[in-house]
Amino acid sequence: MIFRAYYQPLCRYAFSFLNDKEEAEEVVQTAFISVWEKRSSIQIETSLKAYLYRMVRNSCLNVIKHEKVKQQHAAHEMYVGEVAAEAVMHKVQAAELEIKITEAMKTLPEQCRLVFQLSRFEELKYQEIADQLQISVKT
């Protein structure tokens, strides 16, 4: 009798929070189950109607909170995935660039290739390269 009297109004109330009929029905059904399971120990200080509405309201707010957490987690996972994809792409691009540089260096005369290697990869200054190769800095 109580179920029949309050089920539909509580479903409409829950729907006003959740905008999802199935979710609203689930919240209301869970509320009734909870009241039934705790019927021997439950102490309702107001009316049963007010108690049920408060219970459904709190359950709806919990559902909304958990949904927000899920969405934030999903957004974070997507962000982490994008960052990882960018890191992989950066590594691929760096590897491709290294291959192109190596290929281009093969076309240089030996002395130019050596100067380029010392300058770019060993990060020597022009004067240090000139001293090491015993050539002029202007060369």
| Global pTM value | 0.53
Q: Nearest-CA neighbor of 27 among 40, 16, 43?
A: 16
Encode pLDDT of 44-100 as tens digits.
788 889 989 999 999 999 999 998 888 888 888 888 888 888 888 889 898 999 899
Q: What is the reported pLDDT for 53?
A: 94
Residues in the chain: 139
Q: What mean pLDDT, rounded, does the chain reach?
A: 87
The domains of the chain, with CATH numbers, are 2-80 (1.10.1740)
